[in-house]
Structure 1
């Protein structure tokens, strides 16, 4: 799964760069955070007893907006200086808040917000994978990375809930910190550089256009290619509700559906296992039989169904059924990543993935804030929360009566379903093959004057997207 131009000897790391290096990095990072699922619910409610959903949305919103601002810059720098150093930076800052959970909750949530400036590991990881895979293998590799993210959440929340119940939150935080340190050590000692030497520079200079690192400039340049513009709009409209759902769903299960902490951990594990199956077996099969575009459309269809089910559902069995549908909807993002990467130059993979990750970062800012505000408008709050730790009982039953059922128990989820419907309609217009206009349009990474004569040579600009069958 390696390109022919990567046979140059690399001094750092173990072996040649491969997808498996990226898989280990992602697994350890999100396994550490998965352990903190149960303790985080308690700390969040204890720190912000009033308007918990709203404050959670604001914290995650600031983090997401900072990720949006920094993702294009980090992606562009990794195209020039290599992936390995930026993997180290992104993982370090993503995991930096973990030890502060028990030391100082206020500093913990402040660090979560500020760490968003570097919490763009997926941007560098997808560029790393693009470096070490051929185009025909890339969609499968992206599916493997996304499935690894799901796999890291299969057992870690349950393990965290068990350790928290029997040994306290301090041990959970300690274990999560040690796993995060192991991830950093793995990058330092085992991960080789994936970007070939001939494509990598070690000094500051002209190869980096700081204009391209501006997230808003990157978004404007997206519009120069109609196909990429449609893909980016689809990503924004589909990931906006997903980001909001991810930030508040566990709180929603405890307050509205009255899931206990252990039930939530089991729920995450089951959905994670189904997501692994969806992103490996089903994704590969669908990409080969239906193609990239139809796979994206199918994933969006599943997302519409699961969000509507979460919005109207009020019984636990409905949450479990919708969770199975949500697992199938997880095929959307790896399919979109493969769709974009197939058209990108080898030395521009970081910029391309940085732009997509930047849009997702913008959603990570707007989505949680939107969900928190809608929950606030509909007076959905954490009035009480069961103690997670106990001397003998791992899974205490809810002591409070269920929240009064409403016609629409989860209004933000229903709103999210509406935005995904629009994303589905936009995705229908993504061309199967490049049109004449899109074939002639190229997304420049450098500043080009609009009055440049048409006789300019190809060396005057660097196309971000090559012409390819979409």
Structure 2
């Protein structure tokens, strides 16, 4: 995505947005016509407006013991992680003189390394250390990589930090798994909605906080 966005940006600043809008519409059509409901009827519950909003969903999660602390950790982790889309382009262009393509390639490298970690490292670490210790390791690398990016004085250092800091990808899946274990099957969808709400809230806060 970032690599493609950087390449499309050479045709104009609006082109990536048009392309993303088209992809989102195609994704909507696929979900509408081709994705079946996976939740059994016995696990479904009646639709209620008080649950069908971000605040209501988060409040409903309070009834499950231990979910609050996991939600707080997830919120703080996401608040820190959302720094990258908020300031990455500005900082890299100002400090290193990067073009749109270079910014796109750096973000692509960030995402690729994270995907490799989740596909190869995560399945080996969790059975040995467990979900909580794996999440702690991921959060440690999240903090360490943020310091690394802050003190990188040259562009090549960013890629060096990415290679090591990509282990921060170990944090998110175990946290989600720990949260899922705290709620019954009938509330799994609501849990995912709550975590998406946290992500959305941090997306609103971070541009104001970091810029």
Q: Which residue of 1 aligns with 2:200?
A: 361
| TM-score scaled by length of structure 1 | 0.41
Q: Which residue of 2 aligns with 1:232?
A: 71
> What's the offset of the Cα at 1:221?
5.3
- Residue 195 (str. 1) matches residue 39 (str. 2): yes
**For 2:4, which of 159, 163, 172 is the aligned residue?**
159
Q: Counterparts of 1:216 and 1:169 in 2: how far apart (Å)?
A: 34
CA deviations on 1:75-125 (whole Å, 9 max, x unpaired) are xxxxxxxxxxxxxxxxxxxxxxxxxxxxxxxxxxxxxxxxxxxxxxxxxxx
SS at match of 1:281: helix
SS at match of 2:37: coil
Q: Which residue of 2 aligns with 1:183?
A: 27
Q: Counterparts of 1:296 and 1:164 in 2: how far apart (Å)?
A: 36
> What's the offset of the Cα at 1:209?
4.5
For residues 192 and 216 of structure 1, do their structure 2 counterparts lie closer, same or farther at Cα, with a shift above 3 Å needed? closer
**For 1:319, which of 155, 158, 163 is the aligned residue?**
158
- Residue 295 (str. 1) matches residue 134 (str. 2): yes
| TM-score scaled by length of structure 2 | 0.85
Q: Which has the higher contact order (CA 8 A, sep 6+)?
A: 2
Q: Counterparts of 1:277 and 1:359 in 2: how far apart (Å)?
A: 25
> What's the offset of the Cα at 1:309?
1.1
Alignment of 1:239-388 (within 5 A): 239-372=78-211
Q: Which residue of 2 aligns with 1:57?
A: none
Q: Counterparts of 2:73 and 2:3 in 1: how far apart (Å)?
A: 34
For residues 251 and 199 of structure 1, do their structure 2 counterparts lie closer, same or farther at Cα, with a shift above 3 Å needed? same
> What's the offset of the Cα at 1:356?
2.2
Q: Counterparts of 1:188 and 1:353 in 2: how far apart (Å)?
A: 19
Higher helix content, 1 or 2 = 2
Q: Counterparts of 1:325 and 1:337 in 2: how far apart (Å)?
A: 23
Instruction: Indicate conservation of the 8 Å contact 1:245/1:371, yes or no.
Output: no
How many residues were matched structurally?
211
> What's the offset of the Cα at 1:192?
1.4
**Which deviates the most, 226-235 or 213-222?**
213-222
SS at match of 1:330: helix
> What's the offset of the Cα at 1:160?
3.8
Instruction: Indicate conservation of the 8 Å contact 2:64/2:182, yes or no.
Output: no
For residues 218 and 191 of structure 1, do their structure 2 counterparts lie closer, same or farther at Cα, with a shift above 3 Å needed? closer
Q: Counterparts of 1:335 and 1:293 in 2: how far apart (Å)?
A: 7
Q: Counterparts of 1:225 and 1:176 in 2: how far apart (Å)?
A: 37
Answer with 1 or 2: which has the greater Rg: 1
Instruction: Indicate conservation of the 8 Å contact 1:341/1:349, yes or no.
Output: yes
> What's the offset of the Cα at 1:322?
1.9
CA deviations on 1:173-221 (whole Å, 9 max, x unpaired) are 55444433322232233211212234447xxxxx345444464455455
Q: Counterparts of 2:141 and 2:173 in 1: how far apart (Å)?
A: 15
> What's the offset of the Cα at 1:361?
2.2
Instruction: Indicate conservation of the 8 Å contact 2:64/2:183, yes or no.
Output: no
